[in-house]
Amino acid sequence: MEARAYIDKIIPIIATSWSSEELINHASPEFLQEMPPEKIDLLFDILSKHIGPLEEYKGANGKIDISISSEGKPIIIGDYTAEAVFKNGPAKIRIQLIRRNDEWQIFGFLVKVKVKL
């Protein structure tokens, strides 16, 4: 599956109900090392209360970079930003992917929202 199609499929699944389980199921080992399930649960609890559920997904744009590891194997990384509207306003979701064994895994996940102070 192409990276953008994967992102356009997975972000609505994750953000409609802020499902930490869905993010964990699609995460790379590196991501889970930096963001263990309890941190994801906390983040998603905050997002759920602050911006609410996904109401409109506007799609992702980004690029793929390919490099070669020291072992001579290709490393394929996708870096995308998606725009979405949530119950309490708009947000941008930056998602990074890594391709392993012909499957995409989430390598990075960041939600940017504007807050009123």
CB-neighbour burial class of residue 82 (10 A; exposed 0-12, middle 13-18, buried 19+)? buried
Domains of the chain (ranges; CATH) run: 3-113 (3.10.450)
Nearest Cα residue to 111 out of 23, 21, 9, 6: 23
Span 75-110, pLDDT tens digits: 999 999 999 999 999 999 999 999 988 899 999 999
Strands 103-113 and 54-68, how do they pair?
unpaired
pLDDT at 116: 64
Span 23-67, pLDDT tens digits: 999 999 999 999 999 999 999 999 999 999 999 999 999 999 999
Give the C-alpha separation, 88 to 55, whole Å: 9
